[in-house]
Structure 1
Amino acid sequence: MKKSSFVYGSILMTVINFIIAFIGFSYDVLLSNLIGAEAMGLFQMSMSVLMIFMIITTAGVPMAVSQLVAQENSKNHKENVYQILKFSIILNFILSIVLSFILVCLSNPISEKIFKNRNMLQSIYFLVPIIIIISINSVIRGYYYGLKKVGVASVSEIINNVSRFLIVLGFLHYSYPVELEFGVLVAICGISIGEFFGLIWLILAYKRENKKSSYPCYIQLNSIDILNQIIKIAGPLTITGLINVFLGFVNKILIPNKLMDLGYSNSEAYATLGRITGMAMSLIFMPFVITSALVINIVPSLSEQMALKNYRNMKADILFAIKITLIISIPLSILYRLFSEPLAVFLYNDKKVGEYLRILSYSTVFMALQHTFSGILQGLNKHTAITINRLIGMSIQLLLVYFLVGNPKFGINGFFIGFYLRIFVIFLLDLVTLRSIVKFRFRHIN
């Protein structure tokens, strides 16, 4: 029954994720056509800044909420589930306010030193509401994933993407053509717009579902207990997220700067970054439509089964997730390799994107497996191993980007070398970690 719950939940999430991914991908394509490659490059850098200030509230806390809610719900401790949600929302709201204040204080150095564009200051200010809204949204979605009510959380994602698609693209189409900085600003505001409508849905759904609910006066978990458990789970995941985002952010600074050292203009350097990270990578991440559904479902499922010591179903779920990941990612990798230029011309009207997509096509399988492995290891409470593996991989990429991209013999190919070594190293480390855990946990039932 537990296996069926995981499988059916994953299928439902996959269908919903396809809808979300289709809307999101169409949005990225149309956005890039309306604001241009250089603006997409600046927008991607803005997202890197955003992720650094948002990672503390979104990397670990929602996953901790999902796991804790799943564990307490499996024991029918409804009062503890409510306390976990309430405490986590307050915690994330306070953290998001503090992080927003720090961002505002650092806005001038960020615009002048990182973007090298004083006109980007206003765009940085508009990152503040995104931090607050997404921090709250992520906790509530984690709560619903823990309860295995994926439909509620997924509808909020659909509302998020649809509202952003209609409002932002409609405005840009009406205002076309737009100035560089204004295009970036509108794209940033679009995130707040989508997340706001998604939050309204989540609040209304929660009030409707809990209108007649009542909880006992006696609470088994107090705030200190909840905080300790959140820190235990979220701590390593947050460190992992910070490492990934920070090193990714450094990469996005190094790449255009190193390219400019080779003679690229500022516009050419950021356009190259936009083509790789904002266009080609959007296709490479398509398997995440499936793997995200698997990860969202397998983390609370494995946590619940560990609490119940249901090891046989745990192993079956792990094997199912890996098989589905391979079935989806391998054909996509072949498709990208064979039809990279036609896809790029059709979607972006840009042959250079096709060249980058062809190079990146081989990474699709490893990226998808890496994502699935991270979810499995999270469900098995191996958060420290996830952190170490990704720190090693990202450090390798950073070093290679630093030394190779500025070398005339390699140029932008230095980024691809570092990228491939990173994902391959992380894949191998995750695989070794998972194999050691599975052998140890399940030897007695084989």
Structure 2
Amino acid sequence: MIGPEGIGLFNLVYPVYILILIITTAGIPLAVSKMVAQHLAQNNFRAIKKIFRVALFLVFFSSIFFTTVTLVLFPYLVKYIFYDPRVSLCFAATIPGIFIVSLSSVFRGYFQGLHDMAPTATAQVIEQVIRITSGLLLAYYLLPRGITLAATGIAASGIIGEFFGFGALIVMYLKRHRGGLSGSGAYLRTKYILHEFFNLCAPITAGRFISTLLVSVDAFVIPRRLAAAGFTSVEATKTFGQFTGVALTLISIPTLLTISLATSLVPAIADAEAKNNLTLLRSRSDDAIRVTFLAALPFCLYFYLFAQELTQYIFNAPEVAGLVRILCLGAPFLYIIQTTTGILQGLGKPLVPVKNMIISSVLKLAGIWLLTANPNLSIRGTAYSFVLFFVSAASLNIMSLARLSRFQLPRGVTLSKSGLAILCLCLVSAILRQLCLTWDLWQPVSLVIVAILGFLIYFFILLLTGLITRQDIRRFSFLRKYLPFQ
């Protein structure tokens, strides 16, 4: 609704906001989840209460401190960090979220540690419903008053959603613990809890901080290099919004699958390593890469073939189709990055993918600096730089896996079978598209029909050739409750 320019304004601010949240929470919610789960297994409810209270105390004062720091540094951030001064209102709208989201994350970590996922799921549903509803209303009301206010409304809607989600978590916490946690257990000293927090949080927080910092650097560099290519401030912001809010968003849709796979891989890989079962470790790693590769191919093909139609009907920005096609060249590697990162974390090597990401990001930034400023390439140069990043990071992760677990790339038989499946998908998609044109169907409907039928046939071919098994399907945790076999 707010268009590429409004998306660009929001995406200039969002990485910095996330960076502040990471610094504020310092990975404490993750530590809470792990420590609560450990002591729950021992029925040590006294320790659980102490862990939660210490974490809440730390994050409460940390969020107040960093909210204050952000307010003090606000004019300097707008002047020196953000390319477009119009983002000042948009950034200001996100500042209350530092306090709300930080405290909310502690409650989420607490419930996850208790293996009680209902409060988190309920809060997320409430948050998303409020976010979408308020976002649409604010955008509709504010858009006639200017794109700056409309982008500010979108930013504010996220904070409004987080506020109601946080309120839901508090209500469910009070309802569940009206009489307090029953049971007893060993007393934990605050010093010990703080020490455990640091040991658990430091590596993963460092990784999250660095990865988010690199995204913030992209938001800092890309508009400036577009300006060097001859773009005005408004044109640079709009083009940046098209790239991040349309092209990158579209190819990131399959990450819903790969993130679920990566999440389920961490304990599976850790279990195999704990048992010192190298065969099982290699098998699980090989299967994960294979499933990711096979799942990525149809999405990339669909995005490439129908880039014009997808950008037209989803984002009303058909001019971005060329960028989508460029990013499709590296998209399979993007999905493999997430899976290999999950495997490396399961191996207890969370800093290895961080190191690989830093190396790849240096290459990406060099590409952005050189190619984006070229008037003949401009934002297409940025897209090529991201492809370089995807390929480089995935390759480095795979090399690290080969060194740590003797991982092997898919064999020729697997590649030939997957190639056959993709050729069948191309043929089926072409036939279905022609039939839809013959039947004179509304184009968005025909796109959905081609996607659903094409993916079903592709999936059937994978099952028929043995490239995908029932065990592979179960790895996607969010699909388990829909499966007739367990």
Please state which band the TM-score falls in when normalised by the shorter chain: 0.7 to 0.9
Larger relative contact order (CA 8 Å, sep ≥ 6):
1
Please name the residue that 2:203 is paired with: 236
Q: Is the 8 A contact 1:53 1:99 kept in 2?
A: yes
Letter in 2 for 1:382: K
Q: CA separation of 1:166/1:414 partners in 2, compared to 1, >3 Å: closer, same or farther?
A: same
Letter in 2 for 1:153: T
Whole-Å Cα distance in 2 between the matches of residues 147 and 434 of structure 1? 32
Q: CA separation of 1:432/1:220 partners in 2, compared to 1, >3 Å: closer, same or farther?
A: farther
Q: Is the 8 A contact 1:148 1:297 kept in 2?
A: no
In the superposition, the TM-score normalised over structure 1's length comes to 0.81
Of structures 1 and 2, the larger Rg is shown by: 2
Deviates more, 1:59-68 or 1:234-243: 59-68
- Alpha-carbon offset, residue 166 of structure 1: 1.0
- Alpha-carbon offset, residue 116 of structure 1: 5.2
Please name the residue that 1:262 is paired with: 229
Please name the residue that 1:44 is paired with: 11
Please name the residue that 2:101 is paired with: 134
Whole-Å Cα distance in 2 between the matches of residues 214 and 310 of structure 1? 37
Q: Spell out the pairing of 1:46-445 with structure 2 (5 A cutoff).
A: 46-57=13-24, 60-115=27-82, 118-216=85-183, 218-299=185-266, 305=271, 309=275, 321-408=288-375, 410-438=377-405
Deviates more, 1:41-50 or 1:199-208: 199-208
Q: CA separation of 1:131/1:290 partners in 2, compared to 1, >3 Å: closer, same or farther?
A: same
Q: CA separation of 1:239/1:430 partners in 2, compared to 1, >3 Å: closer, same or farther?
A: same
Could you list the per-position Cα deviations for residues 326-383 of structure 1 after superposition, in whole angstroms to 9, with x for gaps in the alignment?
3432221111111111100111221122121111123332222222332333343312
Where in structure 1 are there 5+ consecutive unaligned residues? 1-32, 441-446
Whole-Å Cα distance in 2 between the matches of residues 141 and 316 of structure 1? 33
Q: Is the 8 A contact 1:145 1:300 kept in 2?
A: no
Q: Is the 8 A contact 1:54 1:135 kept in 2?
A: yes
Whole-Å Cα distance in 1 between the matches of residues 268 and 378 of structure 2? 45
Alignment root-mean-square deviation, CA: 2.9
Q: CA separation of 1:383/1:60 partners in 2, compared to 1, >3 Å: closer, same or farther?
A: farther
Deviates more, 1:226-235 or 1:290-299: 290-299
- Alpha-carbon offset, residue 300 of structure 1: 5.8
- Alpha-carbon offset, residue 136 of structure 1: 1.9
SS at 1:126 equivalent:
helix
Deviates more, 1:103-112 or 1:132-141: 132-141
Whole-Å Cα distance in 2 between the matches of residues 237 and 225 of structure 1? 20
Whole-Å Cα distance in 1 between the matches of residues 213 and 306 of structure 2? 33
In the superposition, the TM-score normalised over structure 2's length comes to 0.75
Q: CA separation of 1:297/1:86 partners in 2, compared to 1, >3 Å: closer, same or farther?
A: farther
SS at 1:263 equivalent:
coil
Residues paired across the two proteins, number: 406
Where in structure 2 are there 5+ consecutive unaligned residues? 408-486
Q: CA separation of 1:174/1:120 partners in 2, compared to 1, >3 Å: closer, same or farther?
A: closer
Whole-Å Cα distance in 2 between the matches of residues 375 and 174 of structure 1? 42
- Alpha-carbon offset, residue 220 of structure 1: 4.8
